[in-house]
């Protein structure tokens, strides 16, 4: 009974399915929106045509349409259809149904994966939500008009039909995009309660596209920010990764601070915005990431998160050494502590955690420039990532610039030149590892075999 009451309180203003079906969308021709079919990916065209030839409706939807109108090359393509996941699965040999909360189909076509979703129905009192209003399951199918009303922002409720090159717009999304305004579809409070991640998404969209968040959409963000604590860590991690690799990470982080989403909710954001010692280092890392994304270069999530969390590790490492712990053991304990703290809010994957630890663990080794240590470090698979990390530390003033320059020159030098570059140790000579002299009669071998 209590849960039913809460659903009634937090559901959006009741609009019947019949009323939604009667909504007439704007049909915008190619002459106005400018998206010709050759501008969308071949895989998304094939998925739409296969579904349409089978008698279903199918459209490229959401972010890809929005980005193309805004003059941005989409990273991926989604398709919306009235076919159920099972019907989609039957049409495509290389496909699979994924998800529980939202069942969708991934259709693989060459290097592309197209996400195909079935039109969602309007919510009702029977929609499965938690006590805060967050939707827990959403696998009731509906019409295209209902699906458009269920989407988060007007600029994402756009459907492109490759067969006739028209855009179907139910909520004035094209107009909002041209007017540089981000509006929520429906009541913002209810929509944020349904999915608190939409607050982070609003910030990302505004920063990426240069939009102003509509006052009605902006006002509830601060008072509802605590709802992010109720979101599964894996979803928060995915959204944070999208935000930080959007090509506008600096603008996104600044906007998060303005909206009050940076304190107490995501430890990562606390780290970025509240550490004087590492502030320059963090902003350099974010600017470097933005530059790489805009240049079309790959970005390593492991490297990115390693930079954002480094000064937390550094502070813990120094504190442990001050208590008398051995340096290497103290570093590994500090690394584990910081990643464990982040795991409470962000489900950083094992692979990314492993990459982060490797980059951190290499940093003390850059201090060793005598003997065979530099040669062995160059052979490490993660050397380049470790060096790039060192270079950021040098640019921020954390370590001498000369150290990063030495490693750059050492890596480019020929074997003979490298030997002359080795830095003497404190005694004035480059240490050479001594080989243990064997005792007469086999020594170690005999001892190992039990012989005397």
Coil/strand/helix, residue 84? coil
DSSP string, 229-277: GGS-HHHHHHHHHHHHTSS-HHHHHHHHHHHT-SSSS-HHHHHHHS-TT
What tokens does 16 get?
């019947």
**Pairing of β 112-118 and β 104-109:** antiparallel
**Annotated catalytic residue within 67, 76, 130, 195:** 76
**Annotated catalytic residue within 82, 152, 169, 355:** 152
Rounded Cα distance, 360 and 349, in Å? 17
Cα dihedral sign, 127-133-134-136:
negative
Q: Is 340 a catalytic residue?
A: no
Rounded Cα distance, 45 and 42, in Å? 5
Rounded Cα distance, 128 and 189, in Å? 18
Coil/strand/helix, residue 359? helix
Cα dihedral sign, 7-12-14-20:
negative
CA distances from residue 96 to 39, 76, 86, 111, 113 in whole angstroms, order as listed: 26, 17, 9, 16, 11
Q: Is 82 a catalytic residue?
A: no
Rounded Cα distance, 78 and 282, in Å? 33
Q: Is 176 a catalytic residue?
A: no
Catalytic residue numbers read 76, 78, 152
């Amino acid at each position: 009974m209590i849960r039913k009451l809460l659903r009634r309180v937090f559901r959006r203003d009741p609009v019947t399915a019949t009323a939604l079906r009667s909504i007439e969308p704007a049909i915008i021709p190619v002459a106005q929106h400018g998206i010709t079919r050759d501008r969308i990916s071949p895989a998304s065209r094939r998925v739409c045509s296969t579904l349409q030839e089978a008698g279903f409706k199918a459209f490229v939807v959401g972010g890809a349409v929005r980005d193309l109108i805004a003059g941005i090359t989409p990273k991926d393509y989604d398709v919306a259809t009235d076919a159920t996941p099972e019907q989609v699965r039957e049409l495509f040999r290389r496909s699979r149904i994924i998800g529980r909360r939202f069942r969708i189909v991934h259709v693989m076509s060459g290097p592309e994966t197209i996400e195909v979703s079935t039109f969602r129905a309007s919510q009702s009192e029977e929609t499965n939500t938690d006590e805060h209003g967050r939707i827990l399951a959403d696998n009731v199918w509906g019409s295209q008009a209902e699906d458009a009303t269920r989407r988060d922002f007007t600029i994402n409720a756009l459907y492109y039909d490759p067969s006739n090159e028209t855009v179907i717009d139910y909520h004035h999304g094209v107009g909002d995009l041209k007017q540089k305004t981000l509006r929520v579809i429906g009541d913002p409070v209810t929509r944020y309660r349904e999915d608190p991640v939409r607050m982070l998404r609003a910030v990302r969209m505004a920063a990426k596209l240069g939009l102003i968040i509509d006052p009605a959409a902006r006002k509830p963000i601060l008072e509802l920010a605590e709802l992010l604590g109720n979101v599964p860590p894996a979803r928060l991690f995915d959204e944070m990764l999208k935000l930080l690799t959007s090509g506008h990470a600096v603008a996104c982080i600044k906007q998060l601070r303005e909206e009050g989403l940076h304190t107490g909710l995501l430890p990562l954001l606390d780290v970025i915005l509240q550490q004087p010692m590492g502030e320059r280092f963090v902003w350099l890392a974010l600017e470097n990431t933005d530059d790489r994304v805009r240049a079309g270069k790959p970005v390593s999530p492991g490297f990115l998160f390693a930079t954002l969390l480094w000064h937390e590790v550094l502070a813990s490492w120094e504190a442990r050494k001050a208590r008398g712990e051995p340096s290497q053991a103290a570093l590994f304990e500090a690394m584990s502590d910081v990643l464990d703290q982040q795991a409470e809010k962000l489900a950083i994957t094992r692979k990314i955690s492993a990459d982060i630890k490797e980059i951190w663990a290499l940093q003390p080794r850059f201090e060793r420039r005598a003997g065979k240590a530099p040669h062995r470090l160059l052979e490490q698979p993660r050397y380049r990532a470790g060096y790039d990390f060192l270079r950021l530390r040098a640019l921020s003033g954390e370590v001498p610039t000369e150290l990063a320059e030495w490693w750059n020159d050492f890596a480019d030098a020929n074997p003979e030149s490298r030997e002359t570059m080795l830095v003497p140790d404190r005694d004035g000579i480059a240490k050479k590892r001594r080989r243990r002299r064997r005792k007469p009669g086999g020594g170690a071998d005999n001892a190992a075999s039990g012989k005397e």
